[in-house]
Structure 1
């Protein structure tokens, strides 16, 4: 049976006893959409990296992890204990120190789509979105973003305000229709719901289930020892595959909830 735990109802002593790593979604979990982490979140996130292994697993591209997380924490975190898994885990970055002592984030793997598949995916999402009446006239930023290992369609554009995103498809009905239509065009690829207004297209198996399994393999721990914190933990949400994979799933509603989760966790570490 798949269990998702509300952050406010956790037995934190039991959580800490069994925890081997903490993984976070990014948008609307660690930070507001496309915005840097708050000062308070930055303080607690950096502190957590000195206490345990920490991962960021997001559907967003690596550049957003940089602007929302890495630029905020600077050198305050223990970067050797951080694992960055953008584009749904289809890419993986670790901190690497060269022989001359200089450190940098190094891409360990990238499961990229072929150019042919990226073109076909872009054509399909535009065609099907127009047919379904989901090609909106007012958008903020680009609708279709090629992330290399993932192509993402954002119905309101990448820079849409959070209030508009949350109200566009509250029951996920629009995204489900679009996912089904695009999946028929691209049966050899994985098409899934992403954020509030987006769908993601990648190679088969590239979702947060894959990411937590890969993180467990790298760390040499059971998947159940990974705590995954996300705001879209409902069935069909883009964080739910982590729960399906067997990670200890924690549901939050906003970065404010995540901040409170971290405060309760840190006093026990």
Structure 2
């Protein structure tokens, strides 16, 4: 019996950096009545608050929800009065400086510096450094057309692997490259969730859109966690409906 359903965010629950629509928020609220739910993604807490938490209906059982920013290196829970940080595994200043320098060198070496950008390209999320190729505020249409098959980012990823021994480099979202400490990924995040919640990974389902080698949703699959690969947000709606029907029967 599955007791917890974990989701990627961008491309799975919502479009890149966009809020959950009312239909998806309602489906998550319904899912929370039959299972615990986790959302684990590369964004930091403010992004989760904007995209997920603020969109849930008032009746949602948020005490059954685990919010896991920056690839699960942080966790937030609702304690009845508000959302509180449970843990955060942060980079040292020296690690941050090394990663940011490597990003700049890699972009020069690979030639993937776009002519037009919107906002900062490199974001320090405390426990994760994220490169957003067109900038943090890029319009959705531009992001969806820049690297839909991940080809450009795979070149950047390969170059960064030569520069950053000891770090994990994963692809996610529409234009992102995420860097965490080596061994940190969504599988280790879900294992930390298992340790915290008492729900074994065998009792979890993970749903994501980047379940392919090099994708930031692939490690749970490699770790043997039951996974559902989706291509669109509508696929996620179908998966949620099926899980609710199964667990609620």
253-262 or 168-177: bigger deviation = 168-177
Q: 2:67 aligns with which of 61, 79, 84?
A: 84
Indicate the SS of the match to 1:43. Answer: helix
Give the alignment's Cα RMSD to 1 decimal.
1.6
CA offset digits 1:128-183 (Å, max 9, x no partner): 11221111111222211110110000111123334433332344332222223223
2: CA distance, partners of 1:193 / 1:32: 16
Indicate the SS of the match to 1:26. Answer: coil
Which runs of structure 1 show a deviation greater than 4 angstroms over 4 or more consecutive aligned residues?
none
**Match status 1:25 vs 2:8:** yes
1: CA distance, partners of 2:218 / 2:14: 19
Find the counterpart in structure 2 of residue 151 from structure 1: 129
Deviation, structure 1 residue 74:
5.0
> Does the CA contact (< 8 Å) of 1:212 and 1:245 recur in 2?
no
158-167 or 185-194: bigger deviation = 158-167
2: CA distance, partners of 1:68 / 1:87: 14
Q: 2:209 aligns with which of 216, 227, 231?
A: 231
> What TM-score does the superposition give when structure 1 sets the normalisation length?
0.86
Q: How does 1:211-222 map to 2 (within 5 A)?
A: 211-222=189-200
Find the counterpart in structure 2 of residue 9 from structure 1: none
Q: How does 1:1-269 map to 2 (within 5 A)?
A: 18-97=1-80, 103-268=81-246, 269=248
CA offset digits 1:40-79 (Å, max 9, x no partner): 1111111211221100011111111100111001532111
> Does the CA contact (< 8 Å) of 2:161 and 2:169 recur in 1?
yes
* Unpaired stretches in structure 2, ≥5 consecutive residues: none
> Does the CA contact (< 8 Å) of 2:207 and 2:227 recur in 1?
yes
134-143 or 169-178: bigger deviation = 169-178
